[in-house]
Amino acid sequence: MTTDQPRSSHLDERGRPRMVDISAKPVTVRSATATASIRMLPETATMIQDGGSKKGDVLGVARLAAISATKLTPLIIPLCHGIPVESVEVDFAFTDDTTLRCEVRVGTSAKTGVEMEAMTAAAAACLTVYDMCKSVDRAMEIGDVRLLLKSGGVGGTFTAEPRR
């Protein structure tokens, strides 16, 4: 690693991965909103909307998966701190006849943010939809996982630019 390149906070002076020391940071109220989408056949979308899946309430199970994922994020993302998840809201909306969008809002009072928890939850919700509907549509595509909004902490507020 050369000295003229900026060093990631997740790397030590020798370039090895490390967990960032947040012990001196103050506890602040923080929130993050993330989204992910899953594209499917129109028939699959109709089945979900009509509650016709043989496996049960697809969106209900996906909502629970998203909530659970927020709590498990540090087990999935190696350098992510375990933080108290204090609130989780999960919303689903079909943006057209083939695309389901999941939006997750996560809140906490902690020394670090909840961006990773929100993005992990949105992805987990879409993966759960895939799992529950794969018997009728194996070609579903998951994508567009992104942070939409982050607030709190030293970094302040971040709002993503709209996608075109």
4 catalytic? Reply is no
Q: Residue 158: how many CB atoms within 10 A of its CB?
A: 13
In terms of DSSP H, where are the helices of 10-136? 42-50, 58-76, 115-133
Q: For strand 87-94 and strand 28-39, is the pairing parallel, antiparallel, or unpaired?
A: unpaired
Order of strands across the sheet that contains 141-151 = 87-94, 99-110, 28-39, 141-151, 158-159
Task: Name the catalytic one among 21, 91, 131, 144.
Answer: 131
Amino acid letter, 135: S
Per-position b or e across 50-88, b if 16+ CB within 10 A of its CB: eeebeeeebbebbbebbbebbbebbeeeeebeebebeeb
As annotated, the active-site residues are 131
